[in-house]
Amino acid sequence: MMDLLDNTDVLCKKCKVPMERGSAVKEGFKLRAFRCPKCKTQYYHPSDLEKYSQYKAIKEREFNMKLRMIGNSFCISIPREIIKFAHVEENSFVSLSMENGEAVRMAFHQKKVVRDEE
pLDDT band at 117 (very low <50, low <70, confident <90, very high): low
pLDDT the model gives residue 87: 86
Query: pLDDT per residue over 60-77, tens digit each?
Result: 999 999 999 999 999 998
Query: Among candidates 95, 91, 117, which has minimal Cα distance to 104?
Result: 95
Q: Which domains, and CATH codes, for the chain?
A: 4-60 (2.20.25), 68-112 (no CATH)
User: Residue 40: is its pLDDT beyond 50?
Assistant: yes
The average pLDDT across 19-42 equals 88
- Which residue type does 14 have? K
What's the predicted TM-score (pTM) here?
0.65
Q: Please calculate the CA angle 101-104-108 and round it to the nearest 5 degrees.
A: 160
More confident residue, 78 or 110: 78
Query: pLDDT per residue over 43-61, tens digit each?
Result: 888 889 999 999 999 989 9
